Structure 1
Amino acid sequence: MNNAVAGFSKLSKEEKINWIANHYFSTPSEAISLLKNYWNTDDKIQRLHDEFIENTITNFYIPLGVAPNFLINGKYSIIPMAIEESSVVAAAAKAAKFWSTRGGFKTTVINTEKIGQVHFIYKGEESKLYLFFAQLKSKLFEATESITKNMQKRGGGILDIILKDKTNLLPNYYQLHATFETKDSMGANFINSCLEQFAKTLKEEALEYELFSEEEKNIQVVMSILSNYVPNCIVRAEVSCPIEELAEKHILNPQDFAEKFVQAVQIAEVEPFRAVTHNKGIMNGIDAVVLATGNDFRAVEAGIHAYASRNGHYSSLSHAKIENGIFSFWLEIPLALGTVGGLTSLHPLVKLSLEMLEKPSAKELMQIVAVAGLAQNFAALRSLTTTGIQDGHMKMHLNNILNQFEANDEERVLIKKHFKHHVVSHSAVVDYIENLRKNV
C-alpha cells in the first residue's frame, strides 16, 4: 500500500487525523477518538499548542511533578519536574530532604558566556586575512548595533569576536568566533541574527579590501550558527557535611558509606561505560527541570555531554572527596538557559513552573537546575552503594505494571500489601496478579 501524501501540511488538523487513521489503523474510529481525547478542552490553549510545532494532531502528555524541600543558598524552593520515568521525582525529593538538615545546597554561577561562529573558507595568504580582520572587527560591531541595542540596555551584547585559523583540521577553513552575554534570555535568535550580519559584512568588506587578490576576495561563508557547547557558561552546585552527619536509616556506618560513595564517583571518572549511566542519572534531574521551564533540553544534553568529554575521554560530571573529616560532593556543568522569550511566555505550564520558582533570573535557574542534577546523582549513588538501585526503582515502577494489567482498586491494595515484604520484579508482579485472579 502506497501511503505517500501530497500537500499534507495544507490539510486541516481534522483532515490530517482522518488521513492518518484511515491509512494506518485497522479501526480508524478508535485512533481518531484517542487523538481527540488528548486535545485541551480550552480552545485557546489548544490553538496555542497547535502552533508550537508543525502538523500537530494532538498533545503528548508528560507528568509534571514537584520535588519540595530544596534548601539552596539558605532559601527553600520547590522544584517542578516534567518527566515520565518512575522514581526520579521521589529520589530528588528524598535527596533534598536529606541535605536540608545538613546545610543544604550551595551554588555559584562561574560564568555566563555563550558562543556563536561564522564558518568560512578563505583561499589565500593567512597574514593578509589577519590584517583584514584587524580592520574588520570594529565594523562587525557597528553593523550589528541595531540588533544589539536592546540587549545592551539589559547589560548584555557581544563580548568579543576573534579570528580562528582551523586549516590544520580542514583546508582553508577559518572561523569568526564570537562570545555573547544574553542575560535572562537563552539568546539563540539574538546570537544567530548577529552571526548572519557578521557573515554579510565579512563578505562585503572582503570584496573591497585592496590587499586581497580576486580569489582572496571571494570568501565563502559555509554557515553562521550559535554553538550549544558553552564551556564558559558554567554553574557549580555542591553539598558537604562532617562524615558523622551522613548517618541515617540506611547509613549505619557513615565512614564506610562516604568512602564507598567516593569510590563510586571515582569509577565514573575513569570508566566511560559507568560514566554514561552515571551522567544519565544526573540528566534525569536536569532535563526534567529544563523541560518544565520551557528550555531546550536537547541543546543542554549535547553541551553537557561534550563538556564531559573535554579532557579527551568521557568522564563523570560530578566529583566527591573526603578531606579533614568532611564529605564533599559537587558538580560543575555548562548550562545555557533562559527565563524570557520562547515558550517561557507562551506555554501556560511553563509560566506556572517559573512562577513556582518565584520567577528566577537565568542565573538563578542555572543554579536550580544544577542542584536538581546533583540531588538526583546523590540519590542514585546512595541507593547503589547501600540497598541497590532496583529496590526503590521497582517499587515505584509497580504502579506502571498495575496500570498495564488494569488492576482494580481491590487488587491494587492486595498487591501493594504483598510487595511491601517481597522483591518487586515484572515477572513476580505478573505471577501474583495471575494467581490472584485465578482464585477469585
Structure 2
Amino acid sequence: MNNPIAGFSKLSKEEKINWIAKEYFSSPTDAIALLKNYWNTDEKLQKLHDEFIENTITNFYIPLGVAPNFLINGKFSTVPMAIEESSVVAAASKSAKFWSTRGGFKATVIDTEKIGQVHFIYKGDESKLALFFAQIKNKFFSNTESITKNMQKRGGGILDIKLNDKTNLLPNYFQLHATFETKDSMGANFINSCLEQFAKTLKDEAQGYALFNTEEKDIQVVMSILSNYVPNCIVRAEVSCPIDDLKEKQIENPLDFAQRFVQAVQIAEVEPFRAVTHNKGIMNGVDAVVLATGNDFRAVEAGIHAYASKSGQYTSLSHAKIENGIFTFWLEIPLALGTVGGLTSLHPLVKLSLEMLENPSAKELMQVVAVAGLAQNFAALRSLTTTGIQEGHMKMHLNNILNQFDTNDTERHAINKHFKHNTVTHSAVVAFIAELRK
C-alpha cells in the first residue's frame, strides 16, 4: 500500500474495488474480475448480501452440505452444515447412520436462561448500595415494560436482577446481573436494550436517593452488555446401546472398542492439550449447523469453551462410560440460539436450512446442534481408536489436492484408482501426478 485513504466507507462498491485492485495487486484487471466473479447475478440478492456488513466487495463462499439419517428423539432429520473442512459432513453422516439403527440420539434442553450485566463503579458504603438496590429493584422491571411487552406475550422477559459485589476483584466494581428468557430469539438486541435502560434507571435513581452522599450518587456505568457465557442455557445429547450392538465392519471386538473409546474420552477429560483438539472436533459439528442456521458461531464458541473451563481446568465437553454392559456417550453444552430475528429472516439459505429442519423452535435447534457435535466427536474417536484419523481424512482431502493441481478427468481416474489401496499423503499425490504427466 502506497497511501492511506480517507472516506473509504463512503465510496461505492465499484470505487472500493478499483482502489484495492490498483493499490495491492500486480494485475488489477485480474483481481477485479475475480471479485466480480463471486457476485450474485441476481442484483436484489447481491444487494441484500452487500448490506449484511460494511465495505462489502464480494461474497466469500463456504459450502453448504447436508448430513442425512439423524434420528433425534425418535424423529429423522437431515441436518444442514456450512463448513469448508474436508470429512466433517461425511463423518457426521456416518455417525448418524450408525446410531440410527441403535436407538438414535436422545436430546434434552435442561434450561434456556440468558445473561446480561451492567458493570458500574460505586465509591461508597456497600451496605447503603445494597439497601438502595432492594428499594428500587421493581423500577428496573417497570421502566423496561415498553421493551419487554412483546417478549412477555411470547412467554419470555426478564427473570431476575441481582446486585453483585465484585470489589474483591477490582476496587469499587459492582454489577447488575440480570437473567432473561428470550424464547425463539437469540435475544441479543432485546437483552442489550433492557440493560441500557437498567443503567439509566440506576444512575437516575441514585441522584435522588437521600441516603447517598455526593460521591455515592455519582455512579459510573462502565458498560451494559449481554454475556455470551450462558452456563444455565444447557442442552444434553447422548447415545447408548448394549456393547455387543457396537459391532460392525470397523469394530470386530466391541468390548475392546468401547473400553478404548472410554479411555480416549478420559484422556481428554484430564489432559488440556488433548481436550482442545477433542473439543475442536465437537465444534466442527456445532459450528457448521450454527452457521447454516444464521446464528452467531463466534458467540457459541466463546461460551462453550468457557463452559469447558468452568472447573478451573480446560476439559472435555463429552463423556463416556460402560455400565452394566451398556455403552453411553454424551455431552452437555451451553447454546444460546435463535430461530427468529437476525439473519433467520434475511438470508435465503438460512431460511432454507431452517425449513429443511422443519422450522424448529430455539429449543429444537439446540438439540439438533448438540447432536451434530456429539456425532462429529463419535466419528473422530471411532477413527482414532480403530484405523486412525488420517486414513479417512486424507482420502477426503484428496479432492482438494487434485483441484490444486488442476487435474483432468483421466488423471483423476488414475489417481483415485491408485490411492484406493495406497496411503494418501500430499507428497505421494504430488509425486504420482508428476509421474502421470511425464
| Aligned pairs (5 A) from 1:176-325 | 176-325=176-325
Judge conservation of contact 2:133–2:163 (CA < 8 Å) in 1. Answer: yes
Structure 1 residue 305: Cα displacement = 0.1
* Structure 2 residue matching 1:158: 3-state secondary structure: strand
Structure 2 CA distance for aligned equivalents of residues 139 and 67 of structure 1: 49
Residues 1:385 and 2:393 aligned together:
no
Structure 1 residue 200: Cα displacement = 0.2
Query: Which residue is equivalent to 2:126?
Result: 126
Runs of 4+ in 1 over 4 A off after TM superposition: none
Structure 2 CA distance for aligned equivalents of residues 4 and 434 of structure 1: 45
Structure 1 residue 2: Cα displacement = 2.5
Query: Which residue is equivalent to 1:166?
Result: 166
Query: Which residue is equivalent to 2:92?
Result: 92
Query: Which residue is equivalent to 1:424?
Result: 424
Structure 1 CA distance for aligned equivalents of residues 339 and 3 of structure 2: 42
Structure 2 CA distance for aligned equivalents of residues 407 and 135 of structure 1: 74
Percent of residue pairs identical: 85
Structure 1 residue 268: Cα displacement = 0.1
Structure 2 CA distance for aligned equivalents of residues 140 and 286 of structure 1: 36
| Aligned pairs (5 A) from 1:73-84 | 73-84=73-84
Structure 2 CA distance for aligned equivalents of residues 61 and 85 of structure 1: 13
* Structure 1 residue matching 2:431: 3-state secondary structure: helix
* Structure 1 residue matching 2:437: 3-state secondary structure: helix
Structure 2 CA distance for aligned equivalents of residues 125 and 154 of structure 1: 40
* Structure 2 residue matching 1:267: 3-state secondary structure: helix
The CA deviation string for residues 317-336 of structure 1, in whole angstroms up to 9 with x for no partner, is 00000000000000000000
The CA deviation string for residues 232-265 of structure 1, in whole angstroms up to 9 with x for no partner, is 0000000000000000001000000000000000
Structure 1 CA distance for aligned equivalents of residues 368 and 107 of structure 2: 8
Letter matched to residue 290 of structure 1:
V
Query: Which residue is equivalent to 1:106?
Result: 106
Judge conservation of contact 2:236–2:333 (CA < 8 Å) in 1. Answer: yes
Judge conservation of contact 2:2–2:23 (CA < 8 Å) in 1. Answer: no
Structure 1 CA distance for aligned equivalents of residues 8 and 215 of structure 2: 45
Structure 2 CA distance for aligned equivalents of residues 134 and 55 of structure 1: 47
Structure 1 CA distance for aligned equivalents of residues 298 and 428 of structure 2: 36
* Structure 1 residue matching 2:229: 3-state secondary structure: coil
Letter matched to residue 425 of structure 1:
T
Structure 2 CA distance for aligned equivalents of residues 76 and 164 of structure 1: 45
Query: Which residue is equivalent to 1:397?
Result: 397
Structure 1 residue 437: Cα displacement = 0.5
Letter matched to residue 234 of structure 2:
I
Query: Which residue is equivalent to 1:40?
Result: 40
Structure 2 CA distance for aligned equivalents of residues 413 and 209 of structure 1: 81
Q: TM-score, structure 1 length as denominator?
A: 0.99
* Structure 2 residue matching 1:203: 3-state secondary structure: helix
Judge conservation of contact 2:231–2:307 (CA < 8 Å) in 1. Answer: yes
* Structure 2 residue matching 1:30: 3-state secondary structure: helix
Query: Which residue is equivalent to 1:26?
Result: 26
Structure 1 residue 290: Cα displacement = 0.2
Structure 1 residue 116: Cα displacement = 0.1
Letter matched to residue 428 of structure 1:
A
Query: Which residue is equivalent to 1:372?
Result: 372
Letter matched to residue 172 of structure 1:
N
Structure 1 residue 3: Cα displacement = 2.9
Structure 2 CA distance for aligned equivalents of residues 46 and 260 of structure 1: 50
Query: Which residue is equivalent to 1:347?
Result: 347
Structure 2 CA distance for aligned equivalents of residues 417 and 247 of structure 1: 29
Structure 2 CA distance for aligned equivalents of residues 348 and 400 of structure 1: 28
Letter matched to residue 207 of structure 1:
Q
Letter matched to residue 144 of structure 2:
T
Can you give the 5+ residue segments of structure 2 that lack an aligned partner in the other structure?
none
Aligned-CA RMSD value: 0.4
Q: Count residues with an aligned counterpart.
A: 438
Structure 1 CA distance for aligned equivalents of residues 418 and 2 of structure 2: 52
Structure 2 CA distance for aligned equivalents of residues 116 and 396 of structure 1: 43
Query: Which residue is equivalent to 1:406?
Result: 406
Structure 2 CA distance for aligned equivalents of residues 327 and 431 of structure 1: 44
Structure 1 CA distance for aligned equivalents of residues 208 and 142 of structure 2: 17
Letter matched to residue 426 of structure 2:
H
Structure 2 CA distance for aligned equivalents of residues 220 and 77 of structure 1: 50
Structure 2 CA distance for aligned equivalents of residues 27 and 366 of structure 1: 47
Q: TM-score, structure 2 length as denominator?
A: 1.00
Query: Which residue is equivalent to 2:175?
Result: 175
The CA deviation string for residues 398-435 of structure 1, in whole angstroms up to 9 with x for no partner, is 00000000000110000000000000000000000000
Structure 2 CA distance for aligned equivalents of residues 200 and 2 of structure 1: 47
Query: Which residue is equivalent to 1:64?
Result: 64
Name the stretch that deviates more: 3-12 or 387-396.
3-12
Letter matched to residue 404 of structure 1:
Q
The CA deviation string for residues 5-59 of structure 1, in whole angstroms up to 9 with x for no partner, is 0110000000000000001000000000000000001001000000000000000
Structure 1 residue 120: Cα displacement = 0.2
Structure 2 CA distance for aligned equivalents of residues 136 and 311 of structure 1: 35
Structure 2 CA distance for aligned equivalents of residues 139 and 103 of structure 1: 51
* Structure 1 residue matching 2:26: 3-state secondary structure: coil
Query: Which residue is equivalent to 2:434?
Result: 434
The CA deviation string for residues 131-172 of structure 1, in whole angstroms up to 9 with x for no partner, is 000111100000000000000000000000000000000000
* Structure 2 residue matching 1:259: 3-state secondary structure: helix
Letter matched to residue 391 of structure 1:
E
* Structure 2 residue matching 1:6: 3-state secondary structure: coil
Can you give the 5+ residue segments of structure 1 that lack an aligned partner in the other structure?
none
Letter matched to residue 82 of structure 2:
A
Letter matched to residue 269 of structure 2:
E
Letter matched to residue 119 of structure 1:
H
